C-alpha cells in the first residue's frame, strides 16, 4: 500500500502507547481479603454484581447468595455495579466485611452505552447516542428488530415499506441527506453490515418486482440486549465512511455469572387488517356502468339491465384479507461462573400475513461464550445461526392493486371450482390475485450465520489489545414456479426459476485500548485500531419453461431447450485505520476526538482514501460546586462537530463494465454505463449541540439535541433526460456523479419522568420527538431539479429542486370542477383543446391557473407537499400496580403528505377496472333547458356543484394529472402497543419450582387516528419495483401492504 | 506473565496490524466477472460483438408497441381489439396523452440506440488498435448507420429533436434544446454517407452493408425533399441516384414469392437490407427477443406458445384496398376461410384455419410457435423474426417516387421497371404509367404491417397537407369483418363494453388542432428539460 500519512501517525501513536505500557507495569501493593454480601432493596441477594477496585479493570462477580471476595488495600475504592441498579462506591477501611445494598435505578446515567469500538456510561457521553433496551423490544413484539426503533429513539425515523411479515423497513437517522442509500450501518456484535447491503435473496426478480427483503430479518429480536444508535457525526466518525447515515449497533445478550437460568417466552397472536376501502358492489357497479353506457352511447352489458336484482357480487378485499396467526417461542439458558459465562438460546417464529400468500418463518439458534482464560487473556465467541422461510407471493404481484382491478361481477371461482377470469381476458399472467397466491410458488429461504471470535490480551490493567475476527455468511435460495393454466381460451406456459446466492464477508480487527485514571479522577482513554473487511457475493440461477406437468416442480422437469442459467461473483473490500481519545475530568469536563482513515474500492486510485473525524466536548455544570444542589443532578452541555464520508454507490462506477449477452446476431457486448473517473467521496459536516438535564434524583431526565448537517458532493446517478438513453430496455447507464448539496437540520427531544414512584403504584413516562427539516442547497444549477417518475415511467409525481425537500409532490392544484358554461368560459383551460364534450367540458377538473396566463399547462404545476414527516413522535407510559404492569405506547407522524395513487387509479369515473365508492360522487351534469342542446356549454351545469370528482365523459380522460385531489395528509396518531401483564405471586409458583411467571395480553396498532383515506398512513419508502423507487419517490401508496392489528397473549417463565 | 513474553506478543500482533493488507486489497472493486470498456475492442471479433448489440436490445421498446402505434395504428392500417386496452385507441384517435408510456418508451428506445451507438463508436475509435483497419472503420460505419436510422425515425415522428454526438459530454452537460429539422436531416445524411463509404459490399447475414446505407440514404433524401413545404429537386435527384445505385448495382433481387419474405426460415434473405435482429436463445436476456407475435396475433392458439394479449385487427380501410388477386393480402392478414399449412401447432396439427367472421387477423410477422418453426424455442413474447425496417422493394418504390418527383405522372422506364417488379410479384398486371396515387397505394399494400405507412402519409403531408388531411379524415379506422361469400369487407360497428369506448364508424379526427402530425415530446422530458420546448436551434453553425 502506497500511502499514507495517517498510518505513520498511527504507528507513532502506537510506539508511544508501547512506552506507556512499560512505564505502568508495576507490582501490586500489600492487600487484604475483603468479603461481603450485595442485596437489593428488598434484601434479596443480587447475583452477578461486578465488584472491582476503582481504576482497575479486574472485577469479581457475586455468587448465588450475593456474596463476593476481593483483594484490596485500605484506601482502595470498591465499585459495585449491576445493570439497571445504581452503582455504589465504598472505600475500604479496616473492616474486612463490606455489605452493600443497591437500589434499582431508572436513571440512565449509569447505563452502559455502546459507542463503537468501546463503551461509555451515558453520563460520560459528549456525543449524541440513542438507545433502547431489550425491555422496549419485548413490548414492541416486533417481527424484525428495526420495527422496535419506531418512535422510541429521538432522531430515528422508521417507516415500514411493507406490512408483509418480515418485510423491508426504512430506517432514517436524522433524515435523508443523500440521494443514494440513506440506510444506516448496522453492527451486530461486531459484524458490520454495510448500508444498503442486500440480502442474498435481495434484488432477484420475482414476477413484476425485484425482491427487496429485509437483510436483517434473520435476527431474532429477543436475542438482543440493546440497540444503540450513533447519531451525530462525532459519534459516527469512528465508523468512518460506512456510517455516514448513522450507525445502529446491536448487542446481543450474553451470559451472566450465576446459576443456570432458564427462560421461556412465548406468545400467540391474531392479526387482522384494520381497514378496507369501500368499493362499488355489484349493484352499484352495474348501475354505474349503465349510466356510463347511457352517456357514452354504449350498450348495456349482459345481465346489467336491471341492477336492482343483483346481489353484492364479489368483494375482492374480503377475499384478499384474512385474519392470521403468529406464534413465537423463545428458550434461553444462561449462567456461568467467575471464569466462564454462557448463553444459549433458540427461537421459533411463525407469522402468517393478513394477505393470502404471505408468511414468514424464522428459526434461530444462538450461543455465546466468554472465558477468562487467565489474568491476561480473555477469549470468547458469539455465534448466531438462523434460517428464514418466506412466502412472498403477495408482495411480488401487487396483489392489493390487482384486487382493486377486479370487478364485483367476477366470481372468485367458477361454479365447477375452476379459477375464474375476467371475460375475454387473454394473457400469460394471472390477473386473479386469489388464484395467483394459491397456485404460484414464490418462496425465499435464507440461512444466515453471524459470528465472531475474539481474544483480548490485558498487558496491564490499563492496556488491552482486542483481536477479533467476525464472519458473516448469508446463503439464500429463491424458488418460484408458475403453473400452466387455462385463462379463458389461452393456455399459459408453466415456468420455474431458481436462484441460489451466497454472500460472505469477514472483518479482521485489532484494537488497542489504553485506559488510565490519573489522580483527581482524571480518566484518559485512548484507542487505536486497524480493520480490514472483505466480502464476496456469488450467485447461480436457472430457469425453465414448459414443464411436463404442474407437479412435481423440479427445475429439471422443464423443457431442456428452454433452460437458462447465469451466475457471477463480485467482491468488495474496505480497509481502515482509526483512533479515538477521550478525556474525562471527574465527569465534569469531557473531551473526545476520533479519526478514521478509509480506503474504498469504489473509487479510482487517487480518490480512494479519505479521513473522517469527529470532535466532541461536554461540560456537566451540575457537578460544579457552585451549582451542586439537591434538585439538579445533571446540567450537561454538549457540543460536537464532525466530518463523515459516504461511498454508498455500486462498485466500479469510475469505470464502465461490458455486459456480454446473446443477441440476434450471436454474442453481443453492451457497455453498461458512462464512466466517471473523477468520482469521489460524498462528505457531510455536522454540528450537534445537546443539553442533558436530570432533576430530583433523576426522576426527570430531559435531553435535547439540535443538529445541522450539510452534505456536499452528493453521490447520485446523474439525473439525465430520457434522451440521454439512460432508461428503458437496452439503456446506457447514466454515470454516477458528485453533484449538489443537502442540508438537514433538526431537533430531537426525549423526556423521561418517573411521575409516581410508590411502593405499590408506579408510573413513568417517556416522550420522544424528532423535528426534521431537509433542504436541497444545490444541484447541477440553481434551477435544476430531479423528477420522480412512477408507474412504468408514465407519471411524474415529484420534483426535488434547490430550496426544497427531497421528493416533494408536484402537480396541479385542483379547484373542483367546471360548474357550468360560464365557469368554463371564464376559467383557464388547457391549450389547444376545443370546448366540447370530448374536449374540455363542464364537469372536468378545474386546475388552478397559477401563472395567470389564461392557459392550463405544465407551468401551472407546483409543489404539493413533502412525503417526509415534519415531526415523528412517541409517547410511552408504563404503570405498575402490585403485580400488574401496563405499557401504553403511542406513536405518530405529523406534517407529511401521501400521494394516494390508488385513488388516482380507482377514484376516476373515467378510469378502468373497479372503482372506490367515492366515485359515485361524480359530477352529475344537468341541462338548464331540458329540451336544449347537450353540446351547448351554456346549457349544461353540474348538479352537485361542490364535488371534486369529475363527470363521466363521452370519451377520453383529461383528468388524470397528479393534482391536489390525490395528495392527502399523512399525519397520524397510533396506539402502537398496549400491554397488560400480571406477575404470578412467587408463593404460588414455588410449588412448581418455577421462579417467575408473567402472563400478558398485548395489542399492536389497536387504533389509528388519521385523515388518510387509504389503508394505512404508514406508507414510507416504496419497494423498488417497475413502478419506480428511490429517495425521490417516497410516500406514494400503490396499494401498500398495510400494518395489521395484532392481539397477542403471552407468558414469560423463569426456572 | 513475564514482561518479556508480553512484549513478544505485542510485537507480533503489531506486525499483524500493520501488514495485513495485500497490495491488491482495494482493487477488488474492479469487476472480476465482467469485461471493461478500457480493455475490450481489441480484435475484429470483439468489434463485431460490440456492434451486434446495436441490432437488438436498445430497439426493444421501440419494436413494440410504439412502432405499431405510430406506423400502423396512427396510419389507420391496423386497429386495436377490445381487450388490447385503450392505448391502441389513443393512437387510432390521435388522442395521445402527454404522459403516454408508449411514447415515452419509444422515444427513450430510439435514444438508447443513439446512446449505445455513440459510446460504441467512440470506444472503438479510442480503444481499438489502428491495425484492425477496415474492421474498425466498418464497425464505426455500423454504429453510424444505427444512429442515422434512429434519428430518421425520431425526426419523422417528433420533428425537431436534440442531436447528440457524444453521450459522455451530454452526461455532464444535460438539458439540450431541440435542433431544427434540416440540421437533423443533415446529421442523418452525414452518418449514412460515412456508412455507405465504409461498410462492406457484403456482410454476415443480418448485418448492414453499403447497400443498406445507400438504400436508406435514398429514402432519407426523398423525405427531406418535402420538409420545406415544396419538394426540392436536388434531394429528389439524390434519392433517385442512391435508389438506382442499389437497384442496378447491388446484385440483390426480390424473392420470387412475397409470402416467403416473412417466414423465419428466410430470415435476413437478400431482399432485406436492414432488420432489427432478435433471438429465442433461452439464455438471452429479456429485451433481445421479438415480442410482437404475442401481442398482434388474433388467436392465441396460432402460436400456442402460452401467451396472447387479444391481438390487433386489420382496419376496414386497409382491407378494402386489396384487389382479390393480390397475393400480398393473405401474407398480410387472415380472413375467414384462409388456411396456413405452415402454422402448425398442437391445437392445429395440419395448419391454422381462420374461422372468425367478425374481424381480420394480422398474418405478417405472425409466424407460429415451435412446431411451425423447426422446433425453435419460441415462447410467449419470444420470437426471432427480424423487424425489417428497409427492404429492397421499399427502395424500388422510393426510386419510382423520386423519379415521379413533382410531375403528375411518369413513364420513366427505370421507374416502371422497378415498380413493376414489386407489382407483378404480387400477382398483378404490369402498369405503364405511374402517378402519385399509384405509388402511394402500392407502398401501403407492399409494406402494410411493416410500420412504414404513417411515414408515407407524413411525407405527403409535408408538402401537401390539405390532401393528406383529407385522406386521413376519410379513412375507415375501425375493424373489418368478412364472412364467406361477402362481396367486400364490412365495417364493424362499435362494440362498446365497460373496457373500451373509442370505436367510431364515422371517424372525425382532430389532428389539426392537436398537432399530431408530429408528436409531443414525452411529458417526463418536457418537465425535466425546460429548454426542450423552446424553439429549436441550428446544430451546424
Q: List b or e across B183-206, with b for residues whose CB sees 16 or more CB atoms inside 10 angstroms.
A: bbbbbbbebbbbbbebbeeebeeb
Cα separation, A287 vs A272, in Å, equals 32
Q: Which of A609, A600, A610 is nearest to A573 (CA)?
A: A600
Cβ–Cβ under 8 Å, residues A776 and A1001? no
Grid cell for residue B25: 486489497
Cα separation, A313 vs A874, in Å, equals 42
Q: Chain A contacts of B120, Cβ < 8 Å?
A: 671
Is B246's Cβ below 8 Å from some Cβ in A?
Answer: no
Shortest alpha-carbon distance between residue B402 and chain A (Å) = 33
Is B10's Cβ below 8 Å from some Cβ in A?
Answer: yes
Which of B95, B288, B386 is nearest residue A956 as measured by Cβ atoms? B95
Cβ burial of A520 (10 Å; 0-12, 13-18, 19+) is: exposed
Instruction: Match 450513533 to its residue by C-alpha cell.
Output: A230
Per-residue pLDDT band for A46 (boundaries 50, 70, 90) equals confident
* pLDDT > 60? residue A998: yes
Q: Chain A contacts of B292, Cβ < 8 Å?
A: none
Which range has the worst mean pLDDT, A414-428, A699-713, A887-901, A975-989? A414-428
Task: Point out which residues pair with B183 in neighbouring strands.
Answer: none
Distances (CA, A) of B222 to A317, A973, B5, B391, B400: 59, 68, 92, 16, 11
Cα separation, A786 vs A1032, in Å, equals 8
Cβ–Cβ under 8 Å, residues A738 and A773? no
Nearest chain A residue to B301 by CA distance is A490
Shortest alpha-carbon distance between residue B184 and chain A (Å) = 15
* pLDDT > 70? residue A183: yes
- Rounded to two decimals, the ipTM of the complex is 0.91
Angle between helices B413-425 and B436-447 (to 10 degrees): 40
The mean predicted confidence, pLDDT, of chain A is 86
Upstream peptide bond of B117 is cis (omega within 30 degrees of 0): no
pLDDT at A3 (0 to 100): 42
- A447: DSSP letter: E
Q: Do B21 and A532 touch (CB under 8 A)?
A: yes
Nearest chain B residue to A835 by CA distance is B513
Distances (CA, A) of B239 to B59, B151, B224, B386: 26, 18, 9, 26
Q: Do A725 and B116 touch (CB under 8 A)?
A: yes
Strands A486-487 and A463-482: unpaired
Q: Which of A783, A777, A980, A755 is nearest to A882 (CA)?
A: A980
Q: Which residues contact B507 (CB under 8 A, 6 or more apart)?
A: B473, B475, B476, B477, B478
In which element (H, E) is residue B108 found?
helix B101-127
Q: Do B113 and A725 touch (CB under 8 A)?
A: yes
Sheet holding A967-969, edge to edge: A967-969, A897-900, A1036-1037
Which of B13, B279, B494 is nearest residue A664 as measured by Cβ atoms? B279
Q: Do B285 and A661 touch (CB under 8 A)?
A: yes
Q: Which of B465, B486, B464 is nearest to B360 (CA)?
A: B486
Cβ–Cβ under 8 Å, residues B181 and B537? no
Angle between helices B453-463 and B134-158 (to 10 degrees): 70
Q: Chain B contacts of A376, Cβ < 8 Å?
A: 1, 6
Q: Chain A contacts of B179, Cβ < 8 Å?
A: none
DSSP states along B196-244 = HHHS-SS-STTS--HHHHHHHHHHHHHHHHTTTSS--HHHHHHHHHHHH
3-state helix, strand, coil in chain A (%, to 5): 15, 50, 40
Grid cell for residue B53: 448489440
Instruction: Match 367478425 to its residue by C-alpha cell.
Output: B358
Q: Is B192 helix (H, G, I), strand (E, B) or coil?
A: helix
**A580 backbone dihedrals φ, ψ, rounded to 5°:** -150, 140
Which of A292, A666, A784 is nearest residue B52 as measured by Cβ atoms? A666
Q: Which residues contact A495 (CB under 8 A, 6 or more apart)?
A: A481, A482, A543, A544, A545, A546, A547, A558
pLDDT in tens, A258-270: 888 899 999 999 9
Cα separation, A611 vs A594, in Å, equals 10
Shortest alpha-carbon distance between residue B140 and chain A (Å) = 15
Per-residue pLDDT band for A8 (boundaries 50, 70, 90) equals low
* pLDDT > 70? residue A966: yes
Cα separation, A847 vs A860, in Å, equals 8
Q: Do B18 and A7 touch (CB under 8 A)?
A: yes
* pLDDT > 50? residue A25: no
Q: Chain B contacts of A725, Cβ < 8 Å?
A: 58, 108, 111-116, 167
Nearest chain B residue to A830 by CA distance is B514
Chain B from 56 to 85: CB within 8 A of any A CB:
56-61, 82-83
Grid cell for residue B536: 429549436
Q: Do A732 and B204 touch (CB under 8 A)?
A: no
- Average pLDDT estimate for A893-898: 93
Task: Point out which residues pair with A574 in neighbouring strands.
Answer: A533, A600
Nearest chain B residue to A669 by CA distance is B50
Q: Chain B contacts of A663, Cβ < 8 Å?
A: 52-53, 55-57, 277, 279, 284, 288
Cα separation, A595 vs A615, in Å, equals 9
pLDDT at A19 (0 to 100): 46
The pTM of the full predicted model, rounded to 2 decimals, is: 0.82
Cβ–Cβ under 8 Å, residues A542 and A497? yes
Instruction: Match 362481396 to its residue by C-alpha cell.
Output: B487
pLDDT at A374 (0 to 100): 87
pLDDT under 50: residue ranges of chain B? 1, 18-21, 83-85, 493-515
Shortest alpha-carbon distance between residue A427 and chain B (Å) = 5
Q: Which of A1041, A981, A925 is nearest to A212 (CA)?
A: A1041
* pLDDT > 80? residue A41: no
Q: Do B37 and A655 touch (CB under 8 A)?
A: yes
Which of B114, B279, B379 is nearest residue A493 as measured by Cβ atoms? B379
Q: Which of A236, A251, A231 is nearest to A111 (CA)?
A: A251
DSSP states along A176-226 = ---SS--PPEEEETTEEE-TTPPPTTTT-EETTEE----TTTTS-GGGEEE
In which element (H, E) is residue A1036 found?
strand A1036-1037
Cα separation, B489 vs A278, in Å, equals 47
DSSP states along B16-63 = HHTT---TTGGGGGS-SSSEETTT---SHHHHHHHHHGGGSGGGHHII
Grid cell for residue B378: 419460441
The count of other CB atoms within 10 Å of the CB of residue B356 is 16
B18 torsion bin: left (phi>0), alpha (psi -120 to 50), beta (else): alpha
Which of A662, A723, A792 is nearest residue B283 as measured by Cβ atoms? A662
Shortest alpha-carbon distance between residue A672 and chain B (Å) = 9
Instruction: Give ∠ CA B1-B6-B12 in degrees, rounded to 5.
Output: 145
Q: Do B288 and A663 touch (CB under 8 A)?
A: yes
Cβ–Cβ under 8 Å, residues A835 and A857? no
Cβ–Cβ under 8 Å, residues A365 and A447? no
HSE on the CB side for A46, CA within 13 Å?
26
Nearest chain B residue to A528 by CA distance is B17
Q: Do B32 and A573 touch (CB under 8 A)?
A: no
Q: Do A657 and B31 touch (CB under 8 A)?
A: yes
Q: Which residues contact A504 (CB under 8 A, 6 or more apart)?
A: A471, A472, A473, A474, A535, A536, A537
Per-residue pLDDT band for A23 (boundaries 50, 70, 90) equals very low
Cα separation, B113 vs B60, in Å, equals 10
Q: Which residues contact A165 (CB under 8 A, 6 or more apart)?
A: A143, A326, A351, A352, A353, A358, A359, A360, A390
Segment of A409-418, A589-598, B271-280 carrying the highest mean pLDDT = B271-280
pLDDT at B472 (0 to 100): 84
Cβ–Cβ under 8 Å, residues A427 and B309? yes
Upstream peptide bond of A738 is cis (omega within 30 degrees of 0): no
Q: Measure CA B536 to chain center.
A: 25
Strands A191-193 and A205-206: unpaired
Which of B27, B115, B530 is nearest residue A725 as measured by Cβ atoms? B115
* pLDDT > 70? residue A1007: yes
pLDDT at A1027 (0 to 100): 55
Q: Is B401 helix (H, G, I), strand (E, B) or coil?
A: helix
pLDDT at A57 (0 to 100): 67
**B172 backbone dihedrals φ, ψ, rounded to 5°:** -105, -5
Q: Which of A523, A23, A507 is nearest to B21 (CA)?
A: A507
Nearest chain B residue to A810 by CA distance is B527
Chain B from 191 to 230: CB within 8 A of any A CB:
204, 206-207
Nearest chain A residue to B306 by CA distance is A492
pLDDT at B500 (0 to 100): 28
Shortest alpha-carbon distance between residue B529 and chain A (Å) = 7
Q: Measure CA A64 to chain center.
A: 41
Q: Measure CA B95 to chain center.
A: 22
Amino acid at each position: 500500500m502506497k500511502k499514507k500519512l495517517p498510518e505513520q501517525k498511527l504507528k507513532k501513536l502506537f510506539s508511544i502507547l508501547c512506552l506507556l505500557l512499560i512505564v505502568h507495569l508495576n507490582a501490586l501493593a500489600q492487600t487484604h481479603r475483603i468479603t461481603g454480601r450485595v442485596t437489593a432493596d428488598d434484601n434479596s441477594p443480587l447475583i452477578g454484581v461486578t465488584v472491582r477496585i476503582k481504576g482497575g479493570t479486574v472485577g469479581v462477580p457475586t455468587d448465588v447468595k450475593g456474596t463476593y471476595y476481593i483483594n484490596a488495600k485500605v484506601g482502595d475504592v470498591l465499585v459495585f455495579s449491576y445493570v439497571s441498579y445504581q452503582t455504589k462506591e465504598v472505600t475500604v477501611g479496616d473492616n474486612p466485611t463490606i455489605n452493600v445494598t443497591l437500589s434499582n435505578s431508572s436513571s440512565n446515567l449509569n447505563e452502559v452505552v455502546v459507542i463503537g469500538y468501546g463503551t461509555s456510561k451515558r453520563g460520560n457521553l459528549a456525543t449524541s447516542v440513542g438507545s433502547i433496551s431489550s425491555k422496549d423490544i419485548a413490548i414492541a413484539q416486533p417481527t424484525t428488530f428495526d420495527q422496535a426503533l419506531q418512535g422510541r429513539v429521538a432522531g430515528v425515523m422508521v417507516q415500514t415499506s411493507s406490512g408483509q411479515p418480515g418485510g423491508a423497513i426504512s430506517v432514517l437517522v436524522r433524515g435523508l441527506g443523500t440521494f443514494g442509500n440513506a440506510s444506516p450501518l448496522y453492527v451486530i456484535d461486531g459484524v458490520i453490515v454495510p448500508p444498503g447491503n442486500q440480502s442474498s435473496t435481495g434484488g432477484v426478480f420475482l414476477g413484476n418486482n425485484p425482491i427487496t427483503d429485509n437483510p436483517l430479518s434473520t435476527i431474532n429480536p429477543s436475542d438482543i440486549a440493546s440497540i444503540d444508535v450513533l447519531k451525530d457525526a462525532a459519534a459516527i466518525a469512528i465508523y468512518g465512511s460506512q456510517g455516514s447515515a448513522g450507525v445502529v449497533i446491536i448487542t446481543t445478550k450474553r451470559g451472566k455469572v450465576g446459576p443456570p437460568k432458564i427462560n421461556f417466552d412465548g406468545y400467540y397472536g391474531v392479526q387482522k387488517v384494520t381497514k378496507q376501502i369501500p368499493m362499488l358492489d355489484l349493484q352499484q357497479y352495474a348501475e354505474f356502468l349503465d349510466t356510463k353506457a347511457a352517456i357514452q352511447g354504449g350498450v348495456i352489458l349482459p345481465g346489467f339491465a336491471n341492477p336492482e336484482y343483483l346481489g353484492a357480487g364479489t368483494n375482492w378485499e374480503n377475499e384478499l384479507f384474512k385474519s392470521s396467526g403468529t406464534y413465537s417461542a423463545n428458550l434461553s439458558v444462561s449462567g456461568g461462573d467467575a471464569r466462564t459465562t454462557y448463553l444459549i438460546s433458540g427461537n421459533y417464529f411463525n407469522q402468517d400475513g393478513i394477505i393470502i400468500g404471505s408468511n414468514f418463518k424464522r428459526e434461530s439458534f444462538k450461543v455465546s461464550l466468554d472465558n477468562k482464560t487467565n489474568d491476561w487473556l480473555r477469549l470468547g465467541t458469539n455465534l448466531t445461526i438462523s434460517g428464514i422461510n418466506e412466502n412472498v407471493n403477495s408482495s411480488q404481484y401487487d396483489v392489493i392493486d390487482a384486487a382493486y382491478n377486479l370487478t364485483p361481477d367476477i366470481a372468485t371461482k367458477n361454479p365447477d371450482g375452476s379459477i375464474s377470469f375476467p371475460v375475454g381476458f387473454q394473457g400469460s399472467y394471472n390477473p386473479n390475485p386469489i388464484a395467483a397466491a394459491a397456485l404460484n410458488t414464490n418462496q425465499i429461504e435464507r440461512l444466515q450465520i453471524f459470528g465472531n471470535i475474539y481474544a483480548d490480551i490485558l498487558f496491564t490493567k490499563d492496556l488491552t489489545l482486542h483481536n477479533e475476527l467476525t464472519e458473516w455468511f448469508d446463503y439464500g435460495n429463491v424458488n418460484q414456479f408458475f403453473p400452466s393454466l387455462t385463462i379463458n381460451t389461452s393456455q399459459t406456459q408453466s415456468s420455474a426459476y431458481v436462484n441460489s446466492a451466497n454472500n460472505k464477508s469477514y472483518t479482521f480487527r485489532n484494537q488497542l485500548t489504553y485506559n488510565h485514571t490519573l489522580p483527581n479522577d482524571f480518566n484518559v482513554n485512548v484507542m487505536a485500531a486497524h480493520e480490514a473487511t472483505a466480502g464476496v457475493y456469488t450467485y447461480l440461477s436457472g430457469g425453465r419453461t414448459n414443464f411436463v406437468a404442474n407437479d412435481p416442480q423440479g427445475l429439471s422437469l422443464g423443457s431442456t431447450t428452454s433452460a437458462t442459467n447465469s451466475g457471477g461473483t463480485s467482491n468488495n473490500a474496505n480497509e481502515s485505520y482509526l483512533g479515538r481519545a477521550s478525556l474525562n475530568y471527574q465527569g465534569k469536563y469531557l473531551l473526545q476526538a476520533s479519526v478514521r482513515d478509509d480506503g474504498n474500492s469504489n473509487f479510482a486510485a487517487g480518490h480512494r482514501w479519505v479521513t473522517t473525524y469527529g470532535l466532541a466536548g461536554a461540560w456537566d455544570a451540575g457537578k460544579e460546586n457552585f451549582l451542586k444542589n439537591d434538585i439538579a443532578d445533571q446540567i450537561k452541555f454538549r457540543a460536537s462537530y464532525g466530518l463523515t464520508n459516504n461511498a454508498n454507490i455500486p462498485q466500479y462506477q469510475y469505470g464502465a463494465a461490458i455486459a456480454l449477452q446473446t443477441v440476434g446476431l450471436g454474442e453481443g457486448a453492451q457497455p453498461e454505463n458512462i464512466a466517471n473517473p473523477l468520482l469521489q467521496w460524498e462528505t457531510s459536516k455536522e454540528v450537534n449541540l445537546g443539553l442533558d438535564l436530570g432533576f430530583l434524583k433523576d426522576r426527570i431526565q430531559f435531553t435535547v439535541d439540535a443538529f445541522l448537517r450539510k452534505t456536499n458532493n452528493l453521490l447520485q446517478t446523474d439525473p439525465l433526460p430520457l434522451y440521454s438513453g439512460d432508461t428503458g430496455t437496452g439503456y446506457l447507464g447514466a454515470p454516477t456523479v458528485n453533484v449538489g448539496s443537502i442540508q438537514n437540520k433538526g431537533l430531537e427531544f426525549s423526556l423521561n419522568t418517573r411521575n409516581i414512584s410508590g411502593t405499590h403504584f408506579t408510573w413513568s413516562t417517556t416522550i420522544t420527538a424528532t423535528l426534521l427539516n431537509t433542504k436541497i442547497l444545490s444541484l447541477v444549477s440553481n434551477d435544476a431539479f430531479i423528477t420522480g417518475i412512477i408507474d412504468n415511467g408514465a407519471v411524474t409525481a415529484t420534483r426535488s429542486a434547490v430550496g426544497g425537500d427531497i421528493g416533494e409532490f408536484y402537480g396541479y392544484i385542483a379547484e373542483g370542477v367546471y360548474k357550468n358554461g360560464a365557469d368554463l368560459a371564464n376559467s383557464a383551460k388547457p391549450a389547444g383543446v376545443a370546448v366540447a364534450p370530448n374536449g374540455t367540458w363542464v364537469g372536468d377538473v378545474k386546475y388552478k391557473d397559477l401563472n395567470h396566463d389564461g392557459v392550463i399547462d405544465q407551468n401551472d404545476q407546483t409543489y404539493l407537499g413533502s412525503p417526509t414527516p415534519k415531526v415523528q413522535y412517541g409517547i410511552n407510559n408504563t404503570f405498575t400496580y402490585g403485580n400488574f404492569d401496563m405499557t401504553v405506547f403511542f406513536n405518530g407522524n405529523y406534517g407529511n403528505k401521501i400521494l394516494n395513487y390508488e385513488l388516482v387509479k380507482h377514484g376516476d369515473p373515467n378510469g378502468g377496472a373497479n372503482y372506490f365508492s367515492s366515485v359515485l360522487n361524480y359530477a352529475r351534469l344537468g341541462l338548464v333547458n331540458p329540451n336544449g342542446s347537450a353540446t351547448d356549454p351554456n346549457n349544461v351545469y353540474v348538479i352537485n356543484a361542490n364535488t371534486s370528482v369529475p363527470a363521466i365523459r363521452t370519451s377520453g380522460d383529461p383528468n388524470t394529472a397528479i393534482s391536489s385531489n390525490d395528495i392527502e395528509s399523512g399525519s397520524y396518531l397510533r396506539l402502537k402497543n398496549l400491554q397488560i401483564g400480571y406477575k404470578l405471586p412467587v408463593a404460588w409458583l414455588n410449588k412448581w419450582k418455577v421462579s417467575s411467571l408473567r402472563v400478558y395480553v398485548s395489542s399492536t396498532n389497536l387504533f389509528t387516528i388519521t385523515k388518510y383515506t387509504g389503508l394505512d398512513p404508514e406508507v414510507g419508502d416504496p419497494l423498488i419495483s417497475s413502478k419506480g423507487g428511490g429517495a425521490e419517490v417516497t410516500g406514494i401508496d400503490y396499494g401498500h401492504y398495510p400494518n395489521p392489528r395484532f392481539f397477542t397473549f403471552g407468558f414469560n417463565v423463569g426456572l | 506473565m513475564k514482561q518479556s513474553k508480553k512484549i513478544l506478543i505485542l510485537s507480533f500482533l503489531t506486525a499483524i496490524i500493520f501488514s495485513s493488507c495485500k497490495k491488491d486489497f482495494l482493487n477488488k472493486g474492479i469487476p472480476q466477472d465482467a469485461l471493461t470498456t478500457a480493455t475490450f475492442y481489441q480484435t475484429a471479433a470483439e468489434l463485431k460483438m460490440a456492434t451486434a448489440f446495436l441490432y437488438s436490445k436498445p430497439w426493444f421498446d421501440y419494436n413494440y408497441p410504439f412502432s405499431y402505434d405510430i406506423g400502423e395504428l396512427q396510419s389507420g392500417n391496423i386497429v386495436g381489439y377490445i381487450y388490447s386496452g385503450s392505448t391502441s385507441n389513443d393512437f387510432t384517435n390521435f388522442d395521445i396523452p402527454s404522459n403516454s408510456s408508449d411514447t415515452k418508451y419509444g422515444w427513450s428506445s430510439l435514444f438508447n440506440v443513439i446512446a449505445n451507438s455513440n459510446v460504441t463508436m467512440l470506444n472503438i475509435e479510442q480503444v481499438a488498435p489502428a491495425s484492425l483497419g477496415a474492421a474498425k472503420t466498418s464497425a464505426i460505419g455500423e454504429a453510424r448507420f444505427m444512429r442515422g436510422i434512429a434519428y430518421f425515425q425520431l425526426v419523422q415522428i417528433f420533428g425537431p429533436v436534440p442531436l447528440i454526438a457524444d453521450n459522455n459530454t451530454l452526461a455532464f452537460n444535460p438539458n439540450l434544446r431541440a435542433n431544427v429539422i434540416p440540421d437533423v436531416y443533415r446529421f442523418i445524411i452525414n452518418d449514412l454517407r460515412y456508412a455507405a463509404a465504409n461498410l462492406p459490399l457484403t456482410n454476415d447475414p443480418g448485418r448492414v452493408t453499403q447497400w443498406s446505407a445507400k438504400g436508406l440514404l435514398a429514402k432519407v433524401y426523398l423525405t427531406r425533399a418535402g420538409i420545406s413545404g415544396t419538394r426540392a429537386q436536388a434531394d429528389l435527384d439524390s434519392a433517385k441516384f442512391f435508389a438506382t445505385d442499389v437497384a442496378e448495382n447491388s446484385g440483390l433481387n426480390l424473392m420470387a414469392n412475397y409470402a416467403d419474405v416473412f417466414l423465419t426460415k428466410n430470415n435476413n434473405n437478400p431482399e432485406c437490407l436492414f432488420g432489427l435482429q432478435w433471438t429465442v436463445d433461452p439464455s438471452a436476456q429479456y429485451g433481445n427477443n421479438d415480442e410482437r407475435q404475442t401481442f398482434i396475433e388474433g388467436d392465441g392458439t396460432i402460436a400456442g406458445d402460452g401467451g396472447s394479449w387479444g391481438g390487433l385487427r386489420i382496419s376496414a380501410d386497409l382491407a378494402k384496398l386489396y384487389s382479390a388477386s393480390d397475393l400480398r393480402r393473405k401474407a398480410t392478414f387472415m380472413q375467414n376461410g384462409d388456411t396456413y399449412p405452415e402454422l402448425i401447432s398442437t391445437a392445429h396439427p395440419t395448419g391454422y384455419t381462420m374461422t372468425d367472421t367478425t374481424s381480420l387477423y394480422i398474418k405478417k410477422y405472425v409466424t407460429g410457435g415451435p412446431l411451425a418453426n423447426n422446433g425453435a424455442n419460441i415462447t410467449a413474447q419470444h420470437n426471432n423474426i427480424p423487424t425489417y425496417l428497409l427492404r429492397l422493394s421499399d427502395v424500388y418504390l422510393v426510386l419510382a417516387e423520386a423519379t415521379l418527383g413533382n410531375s403528375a405522372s411518369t413513364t420513366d422506364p427505370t421507374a416502371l421497371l422497378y415498380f413493376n417488379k414489386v407489382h407483378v410479384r404480387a400477382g398483378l398486371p404490369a402498369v405503364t404509367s405511374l402517378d402519385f396515387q399509384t405509388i402511394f397505394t402500392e407502398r401501403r399494400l407492399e409494406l402494410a404491417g411493416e410500420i412504414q405507412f404513417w411515414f408515407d402519409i407524413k411525407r405527403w403531408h409535408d408538402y401537401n397537407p390539405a390532401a393528406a388531411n383529407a385522406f386521413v379524415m376519410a379513412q375507415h379506422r375501425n375493424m373489418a369483418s368478412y364472412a364467406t361469400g361477402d362481396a367486400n369487407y364490412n365495417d364493424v360497428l362499435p362494440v362498446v363494453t365497460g373496457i373500451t369506448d373509442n370505436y367510431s364508424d364515422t371517424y372525425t379526427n382532430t389532428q389539426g388542432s392537436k398537432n399530431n402530425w408530429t408528436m409531443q415530446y414525452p411529458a417526463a422530458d418536457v418537465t425535466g428539460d425546460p429548454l426542450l420546448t423552446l424553439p429549436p436551434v441550428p446544430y451546424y453553425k
